[in-house]
């Protein structure tokens, strides 16, 4: 019990202070201002072939190449309307600067740690796994984003890749065996997308081998 109390107090201490806020659909997020590099209007984007689906592309930030992650895709939310351009909130992470594409930028808020709570259980799991805790405001919750988890797109793909593997196995192999039998023997690198080539290319190679 003493350990849990100490941990809770430590978390509260880390989440008090000023937060840059933004909206993604009807969710209201906050990021510690110390982690925010800058906020930008819509930027020209360069697409990245075969990149994880949550990555919109790359932006050139005064010579610095920054990966842009679409927070709607990251949170498994519907796409924006065609005329709605995303804003960029560039955050500092352990791997460098990353741009989070959001719907709207909010104000910088000063929050008291006394109003900080753990994530509620009724919060959608896609959002709950990315936040450290919440602040209760008068009309909504301020969700404190864990930026390191938000930019960790490889872990977010694990479940999706498993579903793709299963679908690929059913389409290409039927009952012949596991996906690994056609992608190569040995343990697959879990840090890379599970499907290193498209089913179309794989089927072409099989036909050529016959």
Per-residue pLDDT tens digits for 99-110:
999 999 999 999
**Number of C-beta neighbours around residue 2 at 10 A:** 6
* 51 & 75 share domain: yes
Report d(CA 74, CA 151) in Å as an integer.
9
Using the predicted structure, report yes or no on whether residue 5 has a pLDDT greater than 60: no
CA atoms within 13 Å, Cβ hemisphere of 142? 25
Q: Is 141 found in the same domain as 160?
A: no
Same domain for 40 and 109, yes or no, is yes
Q: Domain for residue 141, yes or no?
A: yes
Q: What is the pLDDT of residue 199?
A: 40
Query: Are 84 and 25 contacting, i.e. CB atoms less than 8 angstroms apart?
Result: no
C-alpha torsion 13→38→67→189, nearest 10? -10
For 107-150, what is each residue's pLDDT tens digit? 999 998 888 999 888 888 888 899 999 999 988 999 999 999 99
> Hey, which bits of the chain come out as E strands?
17-24, 27-32, 36-40, 55-61, 64-70, 87-93, 96-102, 104-111, 116-117, 131-136, 141-145
Can you tell me the mean pLDDT for 9-21? 67
Residues 31-83: pLDDT tens digits?
999 999 999 999 999 999 989 999 999 999 999 999 999 999 999 999 998 78
Last residue of a domain, one of 113, 134, 151: 151
Q: Is 98's pLDDT higher than 70?
A: yes
- Give the best-scoring range by mean pLDDT among 1-5, 94-98, 201-205: 94-98
Asked if 10 and 106 sit in the same domain, the reply is yes
pTM summary value: 0.67
Mark whether 29 and 111 lie in a shared domain: yes
CA distances in angstroms from 127 to 2, 142, 206, listed in the order given: 29, 12, 41
Q: Which domain covers residue 135, as residue numbers?
A: 2-151
Residue 68 lies in a domain: yes
């Amino acid at each position: 019990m003493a350990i849990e109390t100490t941990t809770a107090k430590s978390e509260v201490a880390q989440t008090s202070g000023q937060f840059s806020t933004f909206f993604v659909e009807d969710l209201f997020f906050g990021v510690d201002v110390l982690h925010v590099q800058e906020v930008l209007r819509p930027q020209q984007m360069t697409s990245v072939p075969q990149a994880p689906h949550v990555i919109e592309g790359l932006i050139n930030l005064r010579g610095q190449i920054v990966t842009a992650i679409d927070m709607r895709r990251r949170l498994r939310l519907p796409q924006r309307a065609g005329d709605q351009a995303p804003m960029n909130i560039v955050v500092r992470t352990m791997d460098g600067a990353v741009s989070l594409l959001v719907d709207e930028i909010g104000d910088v808020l000063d929050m008291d740690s006394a109003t900080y709570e753990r994530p509620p259980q009724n919060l959608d799991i896609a959002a709950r796994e990315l936040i450290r805790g919440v602040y209760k405001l008068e009309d909504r919750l301020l969700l404190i984003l864990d930026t390191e988890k938000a930019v960790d797109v490889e872990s977010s793909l694990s479940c999706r890749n498993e579903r793709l593997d299963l679908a690929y196995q059913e389409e290409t192999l039927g009952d012949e065996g596991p996906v690994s039998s056609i992608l190569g023997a040995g343990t697959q690198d879990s840090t890379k997308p599970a499907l290193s080539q498209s089913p179309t290319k794989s089927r072409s190679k099989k036909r050529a081998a016959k």
